[in-house]
Amino acid sequence: MTEPKPTADEPTDGALIARWQSGDERAATLLVERHATPLARFVAGLGERGEVEEVVQDTFVRAFASLDGFRGDSSLRTWLFTIARNLVRDRARGRKGARDVVSIEEWHAATEHDALDAAVADETEAQMRRAVETLTPMQREVFTLRVTEGMSYKEIAAVVSSTEGAARVHYHNAMRAIKEFLDD
């Protein structure tokens, strides 16, 4: 999905951060409401099993705990995604002996969300999710951020600690791999 853009009536992320820093706790709620769902989608897309909310919550807690270190030269959204990605990777490293990545199909089957049940029923969409599973972790991250979240290559590079050029290459390689999978 595209970056949550505040309407004219809604304060920007920067304004909410300033309000939070001045003691307005309501600002935290607004920021969580704005970014929690895209983060949950991204975390689930990375294969985090059943602990998506825990990762998302940890992401926000860590982000808010160090908001003073947030330079503002990247968007809050990019920063949150970067934290979430690192958390998922850390958790995967900590799960020795266990599968660190669960298939998107398994995750969708494990959830009780009505919309997901409907999505799983759609064979075409299920085939596309399987196609994404064939990607390398980096390709999957880049492709998800580009297609699902609508991030620019610059933002993606910031999240995955790479360059814009490398992000572009990963995206096109992912696209080619998906096409080949679907053509087979």
Q: What is the contact surface with another protein in residues (CB under 8 A)?
A: 1-2, 21-23, 25, 28-29, 32-33, 36-38, 40-41, 44-45, 52-53, 56-57, 60-61, 64-69, 104, 107-108, 111, 113, 115-116, 119, 122, 124-126, 128-129, 132, 144, 146-148, 150, 152, 168, 172, 175-176, 178-179, 182-183
Instruction: Write the secondary structure of 59-96 as one string of H (helix), E (strand) and C (coil).
Output: HHHHHHHCHHHCCCCCCHHHHHHHHHHHHHHHHHHHCC
Closest CA to 41 of 60, 55, 27, 61: 55
Q: Which is nearer to another protein, 40 or 92 (CB)?
A: 40
Let me know if 44 is exposed, middle or buried by CB neighbors in 10 A (0-12, 13-18, 19+): buried
CA distance 110 to 33: 24
Q: Which residue, 44 or 82, is less far from another protein as judged by CB?
A: 44
Query: Among residues 22 and 96, whose Cβ is nearest to another protein?
Result: 22
Minimum CB separation of residue 147 from another protein in Å reads 5
Q: How far is the CB of 98 from another protein (least distance, A)?
A: 20
Q: How far is the CB of 32 from another protein (least distance, A)?
A: 4
| Nearest distance from C-beta of residue 28 to another protein, angstroms | 5
- Between 12 and 97, name the residue whose CB sits nearer to another protein: 12
Cβ atoms of 47 and 103 within 8 Å: the answer is yes
In sequence order, what are the residues at sequence separation of 6 or more whose Cβ sits closer than 8 angstroms to the Cβ of residue 79?
A: 63, 70
